[in-house]
Amino acid sequence: MLFSIQYLLAETRLSDLSLEYQEKIESQSISGVWFLMIPLLVVGIAMICFKIADRAPMAVNTPNLMMHELCRAHRLSAGGRRMLERIADEAQLEQPATMFLGPQHFEAAVEKAGLTIKYDKRHQTLIAMLRRTLFTQQPKTIA
């Protein structure tokens, strides 16, 4: 019996085998999807690295950082924040956050800065919006 198996194995040709047992040749080419995915992956990794490297430094107790936090707490727009920073710079305030203490501090800074800044209509509108946002009582809502 051993002889017949050896004989059978020796005489079998590839064409005699079932299609399941024949070798299949698979192409080794990279599909077109990978040509899109690889650059997108590289760009995504670069963007993540840039975001990590471009983070703001950890909280340091500086006057400008306190003012930035107060602007964020009051949900001021970027234009409003820039206007407050400009007023604080022109009024030469040592602690810009003092403008948030009350309307009298805010008005004093606006008047002092007005000596060097020529407020146009847009500036006046923005200052009025800041005044309302910072110093008018708004009803507290429970969320």
**Alpha carbon of 132 to those of 76, 78, 129, 142: distances in Å?**
11, 16, 5, 21
Contact 109, 93 (CB under 8 A): yes
**Residue ranges making up the domain that contains 101:** 77-135
**88 in a domain, yes or no?**
yes
**64 in a domain, yes or no?**
no
**8 in a domain, yes or no?**
no
Secondary structure class of 23 (helix, strand, coil): coil
- Summarised one tens digit per residue, pLDDT across range 84-136 is 999 999 999 999 989 999 999 999 999 999 999 898 999 999 999 999 988 88
pTM, two decimal places = 0.54
Could you give the CA distance from residue 98 to residue 91 in angstroms, rounded to a whole number? 12
**53 in a domain, yes or no?**
no
**141 in a domain, yes or no?**
no
Contact 84, 100 (CB under 8 A): no
**18 in a domain, yes or no?**
no
Q: Could you give the number of structural domains in the chain? A: 1
**63 in a domain, yes or no?**
no
**92 in a domain, yes or no?**
yes
